[in-house]
Amino acid sequence: MVIHKAIVYLGIGSNMGDRQANLDAAVDMLRCMEGIEVKAVSPFYHTAPVGYTEQPDFLNGAVEVETILSPHELLKVCQRIEKKLKRVRTIRWGPRTIDVDILLYNHLVMQDENLVIPHPRMHEREFVLKPLNDIAPHVIHPVYKISIREIYMKTGVKL
């Protein structure tokens, strides 16, 4: 049987509790997951909240993993990590202990009711692009067909 491995980029963020510890815990949990190998972790950046702005600043980062999991299997893993670390119930768009989002999965472009890849807003989010640019500057966005570095350079004010 041929096992196909995918290179995947995840965005992680936290703005509740010990944000550094939350991101570290999420990365540790990824390292412990069967079928996932963590290849690179970006620096973490303090970022002003985007969208609902009446909430604490975030700490954001990006993680490169190699995986044999399908996109939906990986989504379940991300949700399991979020569930385990999200100890406090919060309002929608409000503060959260941890977010783990699939940004890119190889060159896959897909959309269904549960999952959209590439992440539909990643190209306009400074807090995603800056850490992603640290670990994946030459990766090509499969929809826009330009590199992460080029997308990052095009986005407005730098952090």
Cβ contacts of 78 within 8 Å, gap of 6 or more: 10, 100, 101, 102
Q: Is the bond leading into 56 cis (omega within 30 degrees of zero)? A: no
Q: Is 99 a catalytic residue?
A: yes
> For residues 101 and 61, what is the distance between their CA atoms, to the nearest angstrom?
11
Residue at shortest CB range from ligand GSY: 13
- How far is Cα 67 from Cα 144, in angstroms, rounded to an integer? 24
The two most distant CA atoms of the chain are separated, in Å, by 51
Is 96 annotated as catalytic?
Answer: yes
Which residues inside 48-77 make contact with ligand GSY, applying CB under 6 A?
48-51, 58, 60
Q: Give the separation between CA 4 and CA 23, rounded to whole angstroms.
A: 28
The Cα–Cα gap between 92 and 87 comes to 15
Closest contact distance (angstroms) between CB of 5 and ligand GSY is 26
Q: Does 144 bind ligand GSY (CB under 6 A)?
A: no
Contact 2, 93 (CB under 8 A): no
One character per residue 100-119, x = contact with ligand GSY (rule: CB under 6 A): -x------------------
Q: Compare residues 61 and 71 and give the one whose CB is closer to ligand GSY.
A: 61
Catalytic one of 80, 101, 125, 149: 101
Q: Is 13 in the site for ligand GSY (CB under 6 A)?
A: yes
Under rule CB under 6 A, residue 47 binds ligand GSY? yes
Minimum CB separation of residue 127 from ligand GSY in Å reads 4
19 is catalytic: no
- Positions marked catalytic: 87, 96, 99, 101
Contacting residues toward ligand GSY, per CB under 6 A: 13, 47-51, 58, 60, 93, 99, 101, 127
